Amino acid sequence: MSKSRFSRRDFLQNTAGAAGALAAAPSMFLKPEYIPSALEKVAPSDRLRFGIIGIGMQGSGLLTAALTLPGVECIAACDLYDGRHTLAKEIVGHSIPTTRRYQDLLDNKEIDCLIAAVPDHWHKQVVVDAVSAGKDIYCEKPMSHSAADGLAMVAAYQKTGRIVQIGSQRVSSVICAKAKEILAQGTIGTLTLVEGSLGRNDPTGAWEYPPPPDLSPSNLDWDTWQGTVPKVPFNPNIFARWRCWKEYGTGLAGDLLVHLVSGMNYMLGWNAPPKKAMSLGAILRFPDGRNMPDVHATLFDYGGAPVYLRLNLGCDTPEIYRFQGSKGILEVTEYAITYYPQTGEDSGPSYYTSGYPQKMRDAYVADWHAKNDPPPGKEPVLEGFTFRGDSWDDERPHLWKYFSGVKSRQPVVEDAVFGNNAALACHMSNESYFQKSAVIWDAASGTIKAV
């Protein structure tokens, strides 16, 4: 079509028209949070000595990350598998006392605080015992293995006043902090829907981890590992792949949904369990004997905009949030925040008028343009933007916040109440899946009920 066939008016109408044109989005880099180097001198009286419980896949990463922070040192490690005593010493770089009994760490007066990265079915006991023994504790997510466990943990936290931080590290990321600021400013207008998703498509992503080849009842306290769960004979696959079974793990909900929920709650300034959850899921891609679904989608009612969070171990998809509102979409990913603006206004005469007779339609269209077309040179421009920053998965800022809280005695953001509210969403998601029914959180009885 030749250029001359378009009038200025046609151009405005056919592109963004009265709604405005979309300007190229500027991209800005977020300054990483300042964390002093581990080489920084810290007075001996200000140093923190921590002990770690559970040095598996996550605990080994936390220990490595913690040792890059100034003024902290690991002085003892506990695990039920002796191979991880060796690993702890390898990470620390010299010999430290190791034990199979975490009670030894609780009794150790030299230890100021703890980090715990044990499977979900052990979180409650470890946290309750730690705070009751007067120790602060960083406990991995999901905070609890059940709603009842979570309530017991909150009660112990509130009774003892110790610092408890749960390990959904994105809560301490510059990405989520900036998104929180943008959302609080009302940039996206009225929040109308929250969408979040994450997908993987490989056996490791689906928790089919290779157990350590030497694992045996002689180097692992299998009986204690099982905790209060009905005992089964030694099974290396359960040791390594515990996420697959509800007896030990909390499935996709506790493994991955909890990150989406914790980040969402932080960014929106929410700190309550959902009122209602409705889940669908199935075991479609990994029918390997697991009893937890490998695809799991949940709709949550938080009392306003619907929240729709989807997890899939059977197809790789990016991890993403889309906060949708009357003024556009805020998309948040591991490294970036992008705002796609919308005016929320009609960008041309309503297409409903195609149902008007010609004369009436022409009059409406002419009137609409007269009232809505911007004067030449005053066409509105919609400005989106992108912020980029360090990965929201980096544990260092979260550990730094924990150690800073231990020193200052100031409350941390992701405390036991926050952690419990996020974990409750996960338990509701699982309950809804297993009960094949919508569920509500009944605060009065402290239970999840099918409706």
Binding site for ligand NAD (CB under 6 A): 53-54, 56-59, 78-81, 84, 102, 117-120, 122, 140-141, 167, 169, 224-225, 255
**CB nearer ligand NAD, residue 84 or residue 178:** 84
**CB nearer ligand NAD, residue 167 or residue 389:** 167
Structure tokens at 115: 């980090």
| CA atoms of 260 and 30, how far apart (whole Å) | 21
- Report which residue's Cβ sits closest to ligand NAD: 56
**CB nearer ligand NAD, residue 203 or residue 380:** 203
| CA atoms of 98 and 264, how far apart (whole Å) | 38
- Taking CA atoms, 219 is separated from 99, 194, 321, in Å, by 12, 47, 43
Structure tokens at 331: 């998309």
- The full DSSP string for 238-261 is HHHHGGGSTTT--HHIIIIIHHHH
**CB nearer ligand NAD, residue 55 or residue 194:** 55
Q: How far is the CB of 212 from ligand NAD (least distance, A)?
A: 9
| CA atoms of 174 and 420, how far apart (whole Å) | 23
Q: CA nearest 321: which of 220, 198, 178, 153?
A: 198
Q: Which DSSP category does 114 fall into?
A: E
| CB 187, CB 327: distance < 8 Å | yes
Q: How far is the CB of 60 from ligand NAD (least distance, A)?
A: 7
Sequence-ordered alpha helix ranges (H) in 15-133: 57-66, 83-92, 102-107, 123-132
Q: How far is the CB of 373 from ligand NAD (least distance, A)?
A: 52
Q: How far is the CB of 306 from ligand NAD (least distance, A)?
A: 26
Place of tokens 């960014």: 267
**CB nearer ligand NAD, residue 112 or residue 120:** 120
User: Which amino acid appears at position 265 of this protein?
Assistant: N
Q: How far is the CB of 135 from ligand NAD (least distance, A)?
A: 14
Q: How far is the CB of 78 from ligand NAD (least distance, A)?
A: 5
| CA atoms of 132 and 150, how far apart (whole Å) | 15
**CB nearer ligand NAD, residue 139 or residue 330:** 139
Q: How far is the CB of 296 from ligand NAD (least distance, A)?
A: 15
